[in-house]
Homo-oligomer: A and B are copies of this chain.
Amino acid sequence: MIEVNIVGTGNVAWHLAKALGSQNQAILMQVAGRSIEKLENFNNIARETVSIDHLKPADVTIIAVSDDAIESFSEQIPFDNSLVVHTSGFTAMSTLSRKHNKGVFYPLQSFSKEDTSIDFTEIPILIEAEDPKDEKTLKTLAAIISNNVQVINSKQRRQLHLAAVFANNFTNHCYTIAQELCDVHGVPFDTLYPLIQKTTEKALQQGPKNSQTGPAKRDDKQVIDQQIKLLTDPDHTAVYKNITKAITHFYGKEL
């Protein structure tokens, strides 16, 4: 039985706590945070909610706070020589305070408050630890809530997090621009839903390189020039020009 603490009361802390609370192989001991109001959400899931000064050692203490607060929170933990991990894709393991046995427990998903039903079993958990014994503990803990556990180092995790920015944040903003174009011109955005679903399905089934289509891939300058003229927002124009250039270069190289 693995005893777990969580430091933090945000989205990642909440979804992790819920996943840990809904199984029997690990126990969520304490959730620590600064806001009594936010801690109340965890009352029914953790054995105890506390301020960080009252945190007691557990097998694993998971710091699930924003990147820039990880270092400070890891210093504030009132015990040492116990396994402390953070949940960030971006932050190096070395950012954690030296007084702890360090590790990383990175669930690769975009968590938001609106998500009431996250299926943690599908979410990859990327593990790192200084000590092989700690790595084993983290693998065991991760496997309790996820079917996809991998060990990767800080450098790989950083690149994976950057890849996730392209695959999530940037694709989503392309959808936002598409919606703006539809809204402004009185076309229902949901007309694009089957295309959006097919795009994702094809990228996952046959690989994005094999499913690229469109004027940029064909280097169809006439269509590209006319589409640029249709755009009125300079940010949209810049995005259009740059991705089009990137696609043209990418497939031009292959010819």
**Which residues of A pack against B, CB within 8 Å?**
67-68, 90, 108-110, 112, 114-115, 122-124, 126, 148, 150, 152, 155-156, 158-160, 162-179, 181-182, 184-188, 191-200, 202-204, 206-217, 220, 222-223, 226-227, 230-231, 235-236, 238-240, 242-243, 245-247, 249-250
Contacts and interface: CB of A to CB of B under 8 A. Distances in A.
Contacts of A150: 188, 191
A239 B243 CA distance: 6
Interface of chain A, helix or strand or loop or mixed?
helix
Nearest to A185: B159
28 contacts: A67-B220, A90-B226, A110-B198, A112-B202, A114-B210, A148-B191, A159-B184, A162-B231, A163-B179, A166-B174, A166-B175, A166-B177, A167-B196, A168-B196, A169-B214, A170-B243, A171-B174, A171-B200, A175-B208, A176-B212, A176-B250, A197-B200, A200-B200, A238-B245, A238-B246, A239-B243, A242-B243, A243-B243
How many copies make up the complex? 2
Contacts of A167: 174-175, 178, 192, 195-196, 199
| CB-CB nearest 9 A-B residue pairs | A169-B214, A175-B208, A235-B246, A163-B178, A171-B171, A167-B178, A163-B181, A159-B185, A176-B208
A194 B247 contact: no
Q: Name, among A109, A167, A192, A235, the residue most crowded by chain B CB atoms within 10 Å (CB to CB).
A: A167
A232 to B, nearest CB: 11
Q: Name, among A67, A208, A223, the residue most crowded by chain B CB atoms within 10 Å (CB to CB).
A: A208
A247 B175 contact: no
A67 B198 CA distance: 22
B195 A108 contact: yes
Q: Name, among A162, A169, A181, A185, the residue most crowded by chain B CB atoms within 10 Å (CB to CB).
A: A162
